[in-house]
Amino acid sequence: MTAEAAATDSDEQQVERARLGDRTAFEGLYRAHCGRVYGLCLRLTRDAAVAEDCTQETFISAWRNLARFEGRSAIGTWLHRIAVNVALGRARRGGLEVVPAPEEDDREETTRAVIDDDTPPIDVENAIASLPEGARHVLVLYGIYGYTHEQAADMLGIAVGTCKAQLHRARRLLRERLNA
């Protein structure tokens, strides 16, 4: 089967074919989900090279464990769970450094919100990147990717109450940074 044909199949169909060893089907899943997985890893790690490594590790792990995917959630949710585990595992092993935000001239892409012509631009990505790790992880999972508190807490291995407290903290700190 060609990659074009695999792209027209649903995720469920591709998962089933990939479970049977169809690498083209898994490639279709990769192409459909790698951007969001990379984005999640980038926001969690704040380092493009590390995010690329985490993305690769995520899909390698997914390929190896595809038989264990029960289908109770969407494949994208399962991949995000693996990505969070990979990124947090790497941080626990000391594989992540705190990387300062890139200088203005070094950025390729930056999310900017401009209130009016006289107001300096607000760099939302840098404000999020500057949050403490726990608060940033909860904000990314809950606020950006739309997971529930229960799902985010489960992914991060924390209590739901801690997740809610970290989200409150993240929002307060983000508001302070954006209003400064």
Over residues 88-93, the mean pLDDT reads 82
C-alpha distances (whole Å) from 134 to each of 36, 37, 45, 71, 139 are 20, 19, 12, 29, 9
**How many Cβ atoms are within 10 Å of 27's Cβ, its own excluded?**
16
pLDDT digit string, tens, across residues 138-178: 999 998 888 999 999 998 999 999 999 999 999 999 999 88
pLDDT value of residue 66: 93
Instruction: Report how far residue 51's alpha carbon sits from residue 169's, in angstroms, rounded to the nearest whole number.
Output: 25
pLDDT value of residue 113: 38
pLDDT digit string, tens, across residues 41-54: 998 988 899 999 99
pLDDT over threshold 60, residue 22: yes
Question: How many CA atoms lie within 13 Å of 87's alpha carbon, on the beta-carbon side?
Answer: 31
pTM of the shown model: 0.68
**Phi and psi for 15 in degrees, rounded to 5?**
-60, -45
pLDDT band at 118 (very low <50, low <70, confident <90, very high): low
**Phi and psi for 123 in degrees, rounded to 5?**
-95, 95
pLDDT over threshold 50, residue 99: no
Q: Pick from 58, 41, 59: which is nearest to 50 by CA?
A: 41
Residue identified by tokens 């390929």 is: 63
**Contact 101/93 with Cβ under 8 angstroms?**
no
Domains and CATH numbers, the chain: 1-98 (1.10.1740.10), 110-180 (1.10.10.10)
